[in-house]
Amino acid sequence: MSALPQAKTLPGHVVCDGNEAAAWGVVLSRPDMVAVYPITPQTSLVEALAQFAADGTLDTEMVEAEGEHSVLSVLQGACLAGARTYTATSGPGLAFMFEPYLRAPGLRLPMVMSLVTRDTLSPQCVWGGHQDAMSVRDVGWIQVYCESVQEILDTVIMAFRIAEHRDVMLPINVCHDGNYLSFGVCRVDLPDAAGVDAFLGKADTNWHVALDPDRPMGVDPLTGGGGPGAALFARYRKGHCRGMQNALQVIVDTHRDFGDRFGRRHAPLLEEYRLDDAEYAIVTIGSMTGAAKDAVDEARCAGQRAGLIKVKTYRPFPLQAMVQALARVKAVGVVDRSVSFGWNAGPVFQDVLGTLAMLPQRIPAVSFIGGLAGADLTPGHFARALETTAQALAGAVPIAPVWLNENDR
């Protein structure tokens, strides 16, 4: 109900954790419907939304569903009826909503979901890790990963505009790390509500497919099989891929406009850190990046020509941006907070390997895996990653991934 006046005057800044920051982003984005089911480490996000709704700070249709499967299903019905929608989940919750989750991008529903990342079972684990998000990296959702609490708030807002852009029309996961970002507290600035209203515009979710008696249509009839069906199916799939590719430019434009309006700039696809004259670099994703930048600074002080590439947008994969970044270095190490079991490596590492095929010359690459199950990734771990990458540049390339927390005590 974007036309309604904001119920309450919002503060200019708050001190809060990443989960509450996401909830403030939701307040400012004014979705018509929020559906939630609590799950660690997302729970305090849900509680914050419930309190905001109870206080009248958030004017939305709140659905306290009986599980994540229904959470996403309720929102899909709402989205098809024209609602701007939001939810958040983690790990097992994501697994449980997998069936409707698979369906949202194919219906081209511009839904926004925070994914408070968590390692998957088993071993039984409630702590942070990217395994949940990485397990769904190729089912057609946009995925962006935040580095800081402020970036969570800002990215939740931007996510609605990216998802609802008519060249995109895809659901988006705004990922923030369980524990380190979900519960890490700092000061965040809130953009002004009227400015966000102008930035987002009115909800625009079902112009292409709707459940609306004023525009009756059959939504998602059987498609495929014989006759023209297979070709129609192929065109839907191809259109989905095109929407993903379109998202790259829309993400860039949206970040630029957000920076112009509100004065805070975040790297949209990749961030290059001290890469200009670097000989080698490490690739990071999510909240680990802060410690990694410290390690790069230390290495620079020690005379090493080290740099860093941070992945913000992971799906669609920013291939051209990664090609340009990697073209500057002679060796790369990739630090993943999750595992690709089929490759005995990290998933981001796989993407980097794919990118290397686009480069004129082959450079050595190393897979690092760390930060699983809430393990801390310290500047010390990154110093080791940088050192190992430097050795790879010198010719000693590990043939298996390096498990950074394997011998932590």
Partner 1 sequence: MAAYETIAFDAARCTGCGDCMSACAQEKTGGFDHAASRIQILPAANDGFELALCRQCGDPGCVSVCPAAALEKDAASGVVRWDETKCIDCLLCTVGCVYAGIAYDERTGRVAKCDLCGGDPACVKACGEGALRHVKSAQIYNRYGELEDLFVPGLAGCQGCNTELLIRHVLRAVGPETVVAAPPGCIPGMGTVGYNGKTGTKVPVFHPLLTNTASMLAGVRRTYKRKGRDVTALALAGDGGTADVGFQSLSGAAERGEEILYVCVDNEGYMNTGMQRSGCTPYGAWTSTTPVGERSHGKTQEAKNLPLLMVMHRCAYVATASTAFMEDLYDKLARAIEASKRGFAYLHIYSPCTSGWRFPSQANIEVARKAVETGFVVLWDYTPDAGLRFTRPIDDLRAVDEYLEAVGKYRHLDAAQVAHIQAQLEKDLGLLKELAVRGAQAEARALA
Q: Of 16-24, 27-35, 301-309, 359-367, which segment contacts partner 1 by CB under 8 A?
A: 27-35
Interface residue with partner 1, options 7, 10, 65, 323 (CB under 8 A)? 65
By CB under 8 A, tell whether 70 contacts partner 1: yes
Q: How far is the CB of 100 from partner 1 (least distance, A)?
A: 6
What's the CA gap between 388 and 397, in Å, rounded?
8
Query: Is 82 near partner 1 (CB under 8 A)?
Result: yes
103 touches partner 1 by CB under 8 A: yes
Q: Select 79 or 385, whichever has its Cβ closest to partner 1.
A: 79
Residue 92 carries which side chain, given as an amino acid letter? P
Is the Cβ of residue 41 or residue 105 nearer to partner 1 in the bound state? 105
Whole-number minimum distance, CB 220 to partner 1, in Å? 5
Examine residue 75 and tell whether it contacts partner 1 (CB under 8 A): yes
Q: Which of 78, 321, 390, 404 binds partner 1 (CB under 8 A)?
A: 78
Residue 186, phi then psi, degrees to nearest 5:
-160, 180
Minimum distance, C-beta of residue 153 to partner 1, in the bound complex (Å): 25
Q: Does 33 bind partner 1 (CB under 8 A)?
A: yes
Does position 5 bind partner 1 by CB under 8 A? no
Question: What angle in degrees, to the nearest 10, is found between the helix axes of 193-200 and 149-164?
Answer: 30
Nearest to 97 by CA among 62, 72, 133: 72
Distance of alpha carbon 15 from alpha carbon 20, whole angstroms = 9
How large is the angle between the packed helices 98-106 and 68-80, nearest 10 degrees? 20
Q: In this structure, what are the phi and psi dihedrals at residue 266, rounded to the nearest 5 degrees?
A: -125, 140
88 versus 365: smaller Cβ distance to partner 1: 88
Strand order in the sheet with 142-145: 61-64, 33-36, 85-89, 112-117, 172-177, 142-145, 313-315
User: Minimum Å distance from CB 79 to partner 1?
Assistant: 7
- Residues 193-232: x/- map of binding to partner 1 (CB under 8 A)? -----------------xxxx-xxxxxxxxxxx-xxx--x
Alpha-carbon distances, residue 218 vs 222, 252, 317 (angstroms): 10, 35, 33
- Interatomic CA distance for residues 57 and 64, integer angstroms: 18
Hey, which bits of 109-201 come out as E strands? Answer: 112-117, 142-145, 172-177, 185-189
Q: Does 66 bind partner 1 (CB under 8 A)?
A: yes
Piece of 95-103, 252-260, 323-331, 396-404 that binds partner 1 (CB under 8 A): 95-103
> Is residue 35 part of the contact set for partner 1 (CB under 8 A)?
yes
For the bound state, the minimum distance from the C-beta of residue 282 to partner 1, rounded and expressed in Å, comes to: 42
Contacting residue, 76, 89, 114, 150, with partner 1 by CB under 8 A: 76
Q: Say if residue 92 is exposed, middle or buried (CB neighbours under 10 Å; 0-12, 13-18, 19+).
A: middle
How many residues touch partner 1 under the rule CB under 8 A: the total is 45
The values of phi and psi at residue 143, to 5°, are -130, 125
Query: Which residues form the interface with partner 1 (CB under 8 A)?
Result: 1, 32-33, 35, 61, 63-67, 69-70, 73-83, 99-100, 103, 210-213, 215-225, 227-229, 232
